[in-house]
Amino acid sequence: MESARIPVGRTEAPDYLVEVRPGLLGDLGDALARHGIRSRVIVCSTPTVWRVVAPQLPPPLRISDPILLPDGERYKGLSAVSRTYDALVRAGADRGTTVVAIGGGVLGDTAGFAAATFLRGLPLVHVPTTLLAQVDSAIGGKVGVNHALGKNLIGAFHPPRAVLVDPDVLATLPRREFRAGLYEVVKYAVIASRPLFDLLAGRLREVFARTPDVLVPVIAECCGIKARVVTADERETGLRRILNFGHTIGHAIEAVTRYRRFRHGEAVALGMVAAAHLAARRGRLAATDRDALASLVTAMGPLPPAADLNGGDLLDAIRRDKKVVDGQLHFVLPDALGVVNVVTDVTEGELARALADIGVRTSR
């Protein structure tokens, strides 16, 4: 597979496309035009990403004056959004200006939230540069920032006009960042595709080598899974909740460590393993599938230690999770590799036991 074009359906606006194509960055101006973006654009990026991608862009974009925001989950807050507003005002942005977010998930979420709220909404295009953003965060229209007490508590739905994915840019991604994105690929495998899980387990070396004939289909399949889920449930009232597999505990881990120790995907990896243990203990998931998931996560590389985390603090963070609705926590449990369901009856005792399964201290 050399390229893919994946439609994402919307209920109240035109559909948009996720375009996956190696070398797309060098053709970005024409790509924007193909997706109907012909007016003024303002690029948002980070200093690190801009140094890498700017030489690959066509001249009009390469010589543009981008809005550069600090990278890292700890900077994903309202202060970065305010900086973006200031820059948009200074640049004279109006409602015909399109924000082009070139960067990872943090940059896309932050710039996307600024685009959603400046002048009550500017057009947005995502050009994700990390694996995690390419397969997950850039697709589906969720934008937002963190609060000190919880992950992504401040946000909006603001679907992009297009998502333009160039797998070639992943060649410069540090191994840890690439691995963090792979954990989200594992998530998609567990929720919807046993064949994808088997591919990862069987060809992990080639995936890490970023071999194009392996990596492009993996990215396209993840994008296709998310597109189908989002098309069926744009506002996360039902089916879309399955995309939160591993995220309830993962978000809590990020919050209690102040977004400094764990990459997002790393925290999600621990959350997936904990959820698998919980599901197996309930008799929903075969022990062989639980062990296969845990083995794949282990084979992908080391995770930051969780032994010094406090289970009580994590449970407090879970209570504040945005997936709590009317006091009920919606928790995603696997029934098999490729099949998950959302339940609302997970107890704190079960959560504490699952946290202990991943090495977390469960006493205050």
Could you give the CA distance from residue 257 to residue 93 in angstroms, rounded to a whole number?
37
pLDDT at 345: 94
Q: Are 215 and 200 in contact (CB under 8 A)?
A: no
Could you give the CA distance from residue 230 to residue 292 in angstroms, rounded to a whole number?
28
SS3 state at 162: strand
196 within some domain? yes
pLDDT at 273: 98
Range(s) of the domain holding residue 303: 178-357
pLDDT at 237: 84
Q: Are residues 160 and 221 in the same domain?
A: no
Q: Are residues 239 and 119 in the same domain?
A: no
pTM: 0.93
Q: Are 169 and 129 in contact (CB under 8 A)?
A: yes
pLDDT at 71: 87
pLDDT at 72: 86
Q: Are residues 137 and 189 in the same domain?
A: no
Number of structural domains (the chain) is 2
Give 99's strand partners. Answer: 42, 124
Q: Are residues 126 and 260 in the same domain?
A: no
Q: Are residues 116 and 230 in the same domain?
A: no
Could you give the CA distance from residue 109 to residue 137 in angstroms, rounded to a whole number?
8
Reference 47, options 103, 105, 93, 90; nearest CA is 103
Reference 275, options 335, 361, 185; nearest CA is 335
pLDDT at 46: 97
pLDDT at 358: 96
Q: Which of 110, 141, 172 is the last residue of a domain?
A: 172
Q: Which of 172, 193, 225 is the last residue of a domain?
A: 172
Q: Are residues 102 and 150 in the same domain?
A: yes
pLDDT at 59: 86
pLDDT at 67: 97
User: Cα separations (Å) of 155 from 138, 147, 200, 265, 308?
Assistant: 14, 10, 32, 20, 31
pLDDT at 151: 83
**CATH code for the domain of 154:** 3.40.50.1970
Could you give the CA distance from residue 34 to residue 28 in angstroms, rounded to a whole number?
10
Annotated catalytic residues are 120, 142, 184, 226, 236, 240, 244, 247, 251, 264
Q: Which of 127, 153, 172 is the last residue of a domain?
A: 172
Q: Are residues 75 and 185 in the same domain?
A: no
Reference 34, options 63, 2, 62, 5; nearest CA is 5
The Cα diameter of the chain in Å comes to 59
Sites in the chain below the pLDDT cut of 70: 1, 322-323, 326, 363-364
